Amino acid sequence: MKIEEAEIPGCYILRDEIYEDARGYFFESFNKIIFAKLTGMHIDFVQDNQSYSTKNVLRGLHFQRGDHAQAKLVRVLQGRVLDIAVDLRKDSTYFGKYFSIELNAENRKQLFIPRGFAHGFVVLSESADFFYKCDNYYNKESECGLKYNDTDVKIDWQIEADHLIINEKDRNNFSLKELLQNNLL
């Protein structure tokens, strides 16, 4: 496993050592000891989630507040997505900034997103199977979201806005200013 810190401190890109032969391939997608050694972070994942989405579906930007905040390790099993992590740590010099990376079945990259970030993705291929590990359990009362088209964050989703497929819940997420005004961070 190779790990490099992303443009925003605390986020890490993981690249696995892949062993291929005539049968196919094998790789270790996560090793807690190696991750801790390379990042200094001790993570205990407790929940795995998987979603299937079609082209132009945008999911996000989601996060859990307070004691239910979650760190995530995300990857794509099939297809291609543009993955986005927005720093919502109020004391961070990167507050309100985002990091984007293409995750796909071919590059097998993974992105570790620490607690204190909003997360979302848009599907670039005809469909995508998205998988992620969380270090805390989902709690409906702590669920919150950042508006995908927030004018202060200015995310480039690489798809025209009128082509995006977004559910009503995600369309009604809060702007960064509203999150701050309502003390939701």
Residue 62 known to be catalytic? yes
- Cα separation, 4 vs 177, whole angstroms: 31
- Cα separation, 160 vs 32, whole angstroms: 39
Helices (DSSP H) in 130-175: which residue ranges? 168-171
Q: Can you say how many angstroms the Cα of residue 49 is from the centroid of all Cα atoms in its chain?
A: 12
Residue carrying the six token digits 């050694």: 37
130: tokens are 């998205």
Residue 132 known to be catalytic? yes
The one-letter amino acid at 29: S
Structure-derived torsion over alpha carbons of residues 84, 104, 107, 136, reported in degrees to the nearest 10 = 60
Q: Which of 12, 98, 119, 132 is catalytic?
A: 132
Q: Which of 12, 62, 98, 119 is catalytic?
A: 62
How many other C-beta atoms can be found within 10 angstroms of the C-beta atom of residue 83? 24
- Find residue 60's DSSP bridge partners: 120
The one-letter amino acid at 62: H
Rounded to 5°, angle at Cα 98 from 56 and 160: 30
**Catalytic sites, residue numbers:** 62, 132
